[in-house]
Structure 1
């Protein structure tokens, strides 16, 4: 593995370093800063590590934060895919994160995560159980169980789950015809959450056809090889303590019993709804930061 220091050209994460870290499967762009026990923060779709900018200042006072772009997203590498979508399986993405943390000198660490990143965090805590001390997730339930229990209401709210998994290049071409319209129209009611500098970063990354394709592959993997990996685990559950938080105005909590589904996959689960929608770290950053700090700072 190699590590390259990069110049910081914005003020989104004051005092943080910007690095490229080469793992065995991809090049990972990452920001890191703060002081204390290591906390890996994993972003969701169709965002990048920029989503953590509003909670980073508070958490950096107590933790060493590691905020990467997942493979296929942002400024991280976008490996070629395969017929079985294995390069975008959560197992491959989790392996990136394990190697990234090793490269930064963090052998055991906490994981905070949102959306797609939480699916990576779940697999990371399964495949590298000896390294993940605690896992927190924002506004998701486990992948296999969500597909299993999908309702008409969820399919209508999360139509993109079923659009993005269509064979390439159909969704890629449709999104690529106007990526900014796709990005902003899907979250029109949430646009107030994204200040101009952050929105510009999100759109800069999402205009890249390689990111559009890679993010579709992420979803295709979730509906196929990721479920196969879950099935191969049998009844094995996460051993580490887990905190599941979700927005009381979002579809996940309305369509699923979030805690019940996570308790099918983890031994020690706590959690609750928070007053917000899907983008909790950007909508109610102070509350998310407080929940994370309390959970990760709790003495076992």
Structure 2
């Protein structure tokens, strides 16, 4: 899926991080979401590599990256910890500054990275999310129905783990086939990769720890940082048929409460826009990344 890209494995502060790298030019880091791996960028990364050095990495707990202990209050899987992994990876590869593009959970890592590492991130793009704290502070019946998994996954271990273990691939398909994108949006090779990882008990537990952290320690970080804003240019893209697209709050208005230079808009897709509409997603990213500072 990443022809011409090299495979990279580095240990960052004791955590193995897996990635692929290709292209030449200004560096850009691509971060995937749940329940996926870096494979979700297969339709976007080669096009970006025409003008950029592209690194597509697996978050800790996902894909072939490490699964460290969760620790007290799930601190091993906070967006802060994940962001530090990826900054460390890019530094190990020789990139002290870079743009970052994230989808879903990877977009939440992108938001945290822009706050925690403002001297490192040059531009940031967040795909199909609203800020985590905003989501939890604005839950209504419609959102709770669409995002039921947020509240299922945060139940104490190992109740969700045991329930999902009854049919992990079937459950994975229900997730990927929901949120406005049908299962046919995914290339067979990418779907096989998601199935491989989601079939692993340890990987599923790590993914749930991500959500448990997101509903506890991450919210503490977000509340403490409400006064801080993303200073670099920020692109927000979302699927017209996604939960974000159906939100009564305008996504750009929400992000402008948290960033100084925010632009963006919709893509005719569901949640998984980078795979459902790779050409349109690529075009928006290339325009954003090529803009003069």
| Bucket of the pairwise TM-score, normalised by the shorter protein | over 0.9
SS in 2 for 1:254: coil
Q: Is the 8 A contact 1:70 1:93 kept in 2?
A: yes
- Structure 1: unaligned runs, 5 residues or longer: 1-11
Q: Is the 8 A contact 1:25 1:96 kept in 2?
A: no
Q: Is the 8 A contact 1:35 1:62 kept in 2?
A: yes
Give 1:25 deviation, angstroms. Answer: 4.3
Question: Would the alpha carbon gap of residues 93 and 61 (structure 1) be closer, same or farther in structure 2, given more than 3 Å must change?
Answer: same
SS in 2 for 1:140: coil
Instruction: Within 5 Å, give how 1:150-299 maps onto structure 2.
Output: 150-188=139-177, 190-255=182-247, 256-299=249-292
Give 1:266 deviation, angstroms. Answer: 1.1
Determine the C-alpha separation between the residues in 2 that align with 1:25 and 1:182: 32
Determine the C-alpha separation between the residues in 2 that align with 1:44 and 1:218: 11
Q: Is the 8 A contact 1:38 1:110 kept in 2?
A: yes
Determine the C-alpha separation between the residues in 1 that align with 2:63 and 2:176: 18
Determine the C-alpha separation between the residues in 2 that align with 1:25 and 1:257: 40
Q: Is the 8 A contact 1:26 1:77 kept in 2?
A: yes
Give 1:18 deviation, angstroms. Answer: 0.4
> Please, which moves more after superposition, 73-82 or 187-196?
187-196
Deviations 1:167-225 (A, max 9, x none): 10011111122110110022335211112211111100111111100110100111110
1:101 aligns with 2:94: no
Determine the C-alpha separation between the residues in 1 that align with 2:219 and 2:9: 30
Deviations 1:17-61 (A, max 9, x none): 101110014100100001110000000100000000011121110
TM-score, reference length from structure 1:
0.94
> Please, which moves more after superposition, 265-274 or 122-131?
265-274
SS in 1 for 2:255: helix
1:87 aligns with 2:76: yes
Determine the C-alpha separation between the residues in 2 that align with 1:75 and 1:203: 13
Q: Is the 8 A contact 1:25 1:92 kept in 2?
A: no
- Structure 2: unaligned runs, 5 residues or longer: none
Query: Matched residue pairs, number?
Result: 289
Q: Is the 8 A contact 2:186 2:276 kept in 1?
A: no
Determine the C-alpha separation between the residues in 2 that align with 1:92 and 1:234: 19
Determine the C-alpha separation between the residues in 2 that align with 1:23 and 1:36: 24
Equivalence for 1:132? 121
SS in 2 for 1:267: coil
Determine the C-alpha separation between the residues in 2 that align with 1:64 and 1:228: 34
Equivalence for 2:34? 45
Q: Is the 8 A contact 2:128 2:236 kept in 1?
A: yes
Equivalence for 2:109? 120
Displacement over 4 Å in runs of 4+: none
